[in-house]
Every structure is written in C-alpha cells, then in structure tokens.
Amino acid sequence: MSWVILILSGALEAVWAAALHRTSQATGRRKLLPAAIFLLSVVASTGGLAIAMQSIPTGTAYAVWVGVGVVLTSAYAMVTRVERATAARILLLGGIAACVVGLKVVA
C-alpha cells in the first residue's frame, strides 16, 4: 500500500508543479484557483511521501517520488506544448521511468 501512496504522491507533485505554472500565468481572481490547487496538492503530495517513508527507505522513497513527478510534469508540459517533445527528451524520461521501476524491483 505504501508504494501506491508513493506513486500517487509523485503524481500530485506534477499537479502542484502545473498549478504553480498556471498561477504565474493567471491574473487577478483567476490566480485563486490554481493557487488553491497548488496548496492542496503540495500538502497532499508531501504528506503522502511522509506516510510512504514510514515503510520505504528514505532515499528510495524520495527518488521514486521525484522520478514520478518529473516524468509526469514533463509529459504534461509536452502535451500542452509548453516544452517540445523531442526523441531525446522522451528517451531520457523513459530512462527515468525505468529507474523508478528498477528501484521498486530491488527495494
């Protein structure tokens, strides 16, 4: 169960990163919703990481959390065309995803 919480917490890391980006793009009242999403998701994400770290070694949990977050954040940026989806970028993100899976296998 800790691994599920950890993966979901990593996904929430991507949510708060996207919300933070949207906060900087919004104006006036439109900043409130992405700011609220940012605050809620950052608390839930780090809270989930803390729960997962009770049964998963700290280094492994943190590496998986960051790895899931970076892959999903980059994928979102490519889908929304904030970043270019190059073959090299996709290959390297695939490598990060493979390392996250590898950490699960050896942990």
Q: HSE (CB half, 13 Å, CA atoms) of 56? A: 25
Q: Which of 94, 100, 101, 99 lies closest to 75, judged by CA? A: 94
- Average pLDDT over every residue of 26-31: 72
* pLDDT 10s digits, 34-91: 899 999 999 999 999 999 999 999 999 999 999 999 999 999 999 999 999 999 999 9
* pLDDT 10s digits, 70-85: 999 999 999 999 999 9
Give the pLDDT confidence score for residue 27 in this predicted structure. Answer: 72
Examine the pLDDT at 14 and tell me if it is beyond 90. yes
- Tell me the whole-structure pTM to 2 decimals: 0.86
Give the pLDDT confidence score for residue 26 in this predicted structure. Answer: 66
Length of the chain: 107
Domain borders along the chain are: 2-106
For residue 70, give every residue at least 6 positions away whose Cβ sits within 8 Å of its Cβ, in sequence order, or none. Answer: 93, 96
